[in-house]
Amino acid sequence: MASKLNSRFFTRLILPAFVLLFIYSTTLLYTPSGPANKSQIAISAPHPDPNPNPCSIFEGKWVTDPNRKPMYDETCPFHRNAWNCLRNQRAHMGRINSWRWEPRDCVLNRVDPEKFLGMMRNKNIGLVGDSLNENFLVSLLCILRVADEGAKKWKRKGAWRGAYFPMFNVTVAYHRAVLLAKYQWQPKDSVLSDGDGVKGTYRVDVDIPADEWANIADFYDVLVFNTGHWWGYDKFPRETPLVFYKAGKPIHPPFEMLDGLKVVLKSMVAHIWEKFPEKTLKFWRLQSPRHFHGGEWNQNGSCVFDEPLEEPQLDLWFNPSNNGVNKEARLLNHLIQEALKGTDIKTLDLTHMSEYRSDAHPAIWLGKKDAVAEWGQDCMHWCLPGVPDTWVDILSQLIHYHLGSG
Ligand SMILES: *[C@@H]1O[C@H](CO)[C@@H](O)[C@H](O)[C@H]1NC(C)=O
Ligand SMILES: *[C@@H]1O[C@H](CO)[C@@H](O)[C@H](O)[C@H]1NC(C)=O
Ligand SMILES: *[C@@H]1O[C@H](CO)[C@@H](O)[C@H](O)[C@H]1NC(C)=O
């Protein structure tokens, strides 16, 4: 995707991006509530700021822990086939699930599904965004089901999929809205565009949320948003580009994709801010990194690894200035963080911890004979059980921190 970005973009954006990432990494602080420590129990009060004992749950390292076992297996009814790596007999699944994320200077507890659902009784959790949020949802559903095996599939208008946990009266669901903003296919207007190779366009209304999540503001108590993986020229190539509209009119001069993303982020964040109740706990999940090695997904890019990356390798893979295949995650994160500034939406910065885990994608084990030949390896989504289970640990700990005694 970013090979299409011009060099002006790099000089304009990359340098400030590093400065901001640095500032960000030094300010993104979080205090967990550890039941073992009285002074920490005190901070799980409804409005716990300022944090007396800050630490960053997103900074740390993966350590091997032979005692760590997944909480669910291939029989969880909420699996999606392509991510069900146990059933698809992906190599090294035991190894993949033996790693534990150890934050640098705070404790990350494993989610206790029963306690968590107890805390969420009569409340609902929604995820809104692209398939990486669906990946996250499946992990969450399979983990929570441990405490309520009567969990039922749940679907409503706008909700792509979800589950209802009857013992706790809790609904957890995913709303698919890959760009967050409303977008629709428009066939080519033959008068306007002759001989330019364009087959048609996708009209994106930057100021209108997609129908799939337009009416959910009162239903959910906790929401996790994301967008990012569709903002690329592999999803919307030059023949079928995105065309951005504001207040019902095409934006002039037309925006390139990332300028479009910037305005969409800005107006979706403003919409959430204005239309969603203040008491709703809102998170925005930053980019999930991809691990295509040796080429893009359609150029035999591979992630058949059996060990995570080491810290010194991360910049080689992900620092945009190294121009690697997977450099977009950090670039997009910068735009997202800019848009979230000054709002009550909390950043779920799972990028760095996930950057290590080149070993944990479905790769060639997709459960379908011709899938790799047709689609290439999957080095974008995550095996389940796997890395998103740790995302669930982090999300549940943050929810506990913010809602715990509410
Ligand atoms: C408990 O937390 C306080 C600060 O919040 C810290 O100074 C103290 O070392 C902690 N004690 C234990 C046992 O972790
Ligand atoms: C279940 O939770 C909803 C809120 O999500 C609430 O309106 C409803 O009254 C609850 N039902 C029961 C039986 O407690
Ligand atoms: C991918 O690998 C196949 C089989 O080895 C080869 O025929 C093809 O040319 C490769 N494609 C690219 C883009 O490298």
| Contact 89 CB / ligand 3 (< 6 Å) | no
Q: What is the per-residue pLDDT across 140-152, written as a single tens digit (0 to 9) for each?
A: 999 999 999 999 9
- Going by alpha carbons, the residue nearest to atom 1 of ligand 2 is 122
Say which residues have a Cβ less than 8 Å from residue 374's Cβ, sequence separation at least 6. none
Residue type, 321: S
The ranges of the chain with pLDDT < 70 are 1-54, 190-195, 405-406
- Going by alpha carbons, the residue nearest to atom 5 of ligand 3 is 300
Can you give the pLDDT at residue 54?
Answer: 54
Average pLDDT, the chain: 88
Q: Tell me phi and psi for residue 139, to 5 degrees.
A: -60, -45
Q: Tell me phi and psi for residue 366, to 5 degrees.
A: -110, 0
Q: What is the per-residue pLDDT across 67-83, written as a single tens digit (0 to 9) for each?
A: 999 999 999 999 999 99
Q: Give the C-alpha distances (Å, rounded to integers) separating 131 from 138, 177, 239, 313.
A: 10, 9, 24, 27
Instruction: Record the tokens describing residue 310, joined without a space.
Output: 């080491």
| Contact 51 CB / ligand 1 (< 6 Å) | no
| Contact 169 CB / ligand 2 (< 6 Å) | yes
| Contact 300 CB / ligand 3 (< 6 Å) | yes
Can you give the pLDDT at residue 379?
Answer: 98
Q: What is the per-residue pLDDT across 187-228, written as a single tens digit (0 to 9) for each?
A: 987 656 566 788 899 999 999 999 999 999 999 999 999 999
Can you give the pLDDT at residue 282?
Answer: 97
The C-alpha atoms of residue 337 and residue 319 are separated, in whole angstroms, by 17
* Ligand minimally distant from the alpha carbon of residue 165: 2
Distance 170 CA to ligand 2 centre (A): 8
